[in-house]
DNA sequence: CCAAACTGTAACAATTTTAATAACAATAAA
DNA sequence: TTTATTGTTATTAAAATTGTTACAGTTTGG
């Protein structure tokens, strides 16, 4: 996973969650994240592909949630931004003539699956609504 | 955390675990990892600082475990290689004039602590001895 | 005592990954 | 029919990671 994608996606979703059915432009979102609108649109593309967000083109267009933040779990976000295991393998192929080198990646694969699963379960306990409630004073 | 450090450290520790009180040179270890001895020594430095491994300089020197692999947990390794949260923050400082931007990093900090903790607990269930037992045929 | 085999460490180069920027066709609203 | 906006691609810039080289210091064995 690209480490900061989770943070960026949760930030975007929190804004959408609090804007209640209004179309938010990538420009406004980028202003809150202090980054570039094109980058925001790239992140939004993943959220749209996963069906959490819908977009509207043209003037006064933007993005909004497709469902209640009560029905969106942070584990959903994790699943969307997760491309690989949380932990990474060594960049080089280990030596196949060594008993450890031969099997280490297989052994790690199993362990990494369990770690990913533990994180998933943890995030399953929090909804987007619960998370974004922290931002209303 | 630098993603692959965990994998590399576990690989090194598995080799040390199986070599039973023999001094293993960084050259041998690098051969199994298929990487550079200096890089291995850098990883070893962290494991030594943490007290899991001891080094012997000079001819016929090398590294070995300071205690039984039955008393080393994968969570120990995690703690050593973990420099930051598993998940990262957005690279830019969010906009402090936005309710979400103002508090998002604080909110994520709490969440990220919980995630790290969940991974730690998971890894606490496995010893180095259990893990490296997979490599003896 | 000397040569050889190591560690430990620092500095630097190369590579890879990530983020930022720019550009533009397509679309919809006013 | 002008303006604001998405969606998308390409490109550049920046940052992070990994690899390499070098060498002083240490220990062993002849």
Which tens digits make up the pLDDT trace of A47-61? 999 999 999 999 999
> Could you tell me the end-to-end alpha-carbon distance of chain A, in angstroms, rounded to an integer?
32
- Please indicate whether, in this complex, the C-beta atoms of A100 and B34 are within 8 angstroms of each other: no
Return the residue in A13, A78, A87 with the most chain B beta carbons within 10 A, the one to mutate for interface testing. Answer: A87
Look at the alpha carbons of B107, A120, A83, B125 in this order and tell me if their dihedral is positive or negative.
positive
Rounded to an integer, the average pLDDT of B6-26 is 95
What pLDDT is recorded for position A131?
98
- Cβ atoms of B55 and B46 within 8 Å: the answer is no
Q: Which residue is nearest to nucleotide C27 (CA to C1')?
A: A58
Whether A23 contacts chain B with CB within 8 A: no
What pLDDT is recorded for position A1?
62
Share of chain B above pLDDT 70, in %: 99
Phi, then psi, of B90 in degrees rounded to 5? -60, 140
- C-alpha span between B132 and A96 (Å, rounded): 16
Q: Confidence class of residue B2 from pLDDT cuts 50, 70 and 90? A: confident
- Cβ atoms of B8 and B129 within 8 Å: the answer is no
Which tens digits make up the pLDDT trace of B41-100? 999 999 999 999 999 999 999 999 999 999 999 999 999 999 999 999 999 999 999 999
Answer yes or no: is pLDDT of B1 > 90: no
Q: Which tokens sit at B20?
A: 């039973």
Which residues in chain B touch residue A12, judged by CB atoms under 8 angstroms apart? none
CA A52 to chain CA centroid, nearest Å: 11
Answer yes or no: is pLDDT of A21 > 80: no
Q: HSE of A41 in the Cβ direction (CA atoms, 13 Å)?
A: 11
- Please indicate whether, in this complex, the C-beta atoms of A87 and B121 are within 8 angstroms of each other: no
Whether B94 contacts chain A with CB within 8 A: yes
Mean pLDDT, chain A, as a whole number? 96
Q: HSE of B21 in the Cβ direction (CA atoms, 13 Å)?
A: 1
DSSP string, B67-101: S-GGG-BHHHHHHHH--S-SS---SSPPPTTSHHH
Q: HSE of B58 in the Cβ direction (CA atoms, 13 Å)?
A: 1
> Could you tell me the end-to-end alpha-carbon distance of chain B, in angstroms, rounded to an integer?
32
């Amino acid at each position: 996973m690209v480490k900061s994608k989770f943070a960026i996606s949760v930030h975007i979703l929190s804004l959408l969650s609090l804007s209640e059915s209004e179309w938010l432009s990538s420009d406004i979102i980028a202003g809150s994240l202090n980054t570039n609108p094109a980058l925001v649109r790239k992140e939004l593309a993943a959220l749209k592909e996963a069906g959490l967000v819908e977009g509207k083109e043209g003037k006064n267009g933007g993005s909004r949630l497709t469902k209640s933040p009560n029905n969106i779990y942070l584990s959903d976000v994790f699943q969307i931004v997760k491309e690989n295991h949380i932990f990474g393998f060594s960049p080089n192929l280990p030596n196949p003539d060594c008993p450890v080198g031969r099997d280490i990646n297989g052994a790690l694969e199993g362990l990494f699956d369990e770690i990913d699963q533990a994180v998933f379960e943890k995030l399953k306990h929090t909804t987007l609504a619960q998370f974004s409630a922290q931002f209303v004073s």
